[in-house]
Amino acid sequence: MRVVVMGIVATAATDLWALLLRRLGRPTLDYALLGRWIGHWRAGRWRHDVIRDAAPVRHERVLGWCAHYAIGIGMAGMMVAMTGSGWLRQPTLGMALGFGVATVLLPFLVMQPAFGAGIAAARTPQPWPARLQSLATHAVFGAGLFAGAAICAVFPL
């Protein structure tokens, strides 16, 4: 249960970060596109030249948001599996931030290439700003992991 709380808090932190970025005029990932990508897996399609040009799939927005939170919870579980349950009792910010930053490898090496953006957004008009934004988002995810673990340490489930 602690891993679920930790994953939800961390994922919600990235959502608040994305909301701030959108208010500042920065584009962020539309989770409907994540749902579209996943929806195309049934047909054996894992990669798209441009995900926005791919045919929409039924309920892609709901699918994308559910996947977003499931991935966040899964990443929280991976962190606990790597650090051990002792970290949950005495979480440290440095470990959580380091793990969060490391999770940027998933979009860099899997999602962005599959969406047609290339490895680490290499095929986007401005790769470095996109990379830095991804890195910052994953650092926020790490901070959220710490916050979720700290909440669970104070209010044990």
Regions in the chain scoring below 50 on pLDDT: none
Phi, psi at 123, each rounded to 5°: -95, 15
pLDDT of amino acid 89: 87
pLDDT of amino acid 55: 96
Cβ neighbour number for residue 71 with a 10 Å cutoff: 16
pLDDT of amino acid 2: 93
For 99-112, how does the pLDDT look when each residue is reduced to its tens digit (9 = 90+)?
999 999 999 999 99
pLDDT of amino acid 65: 98
CA distance 58 to 61: 9
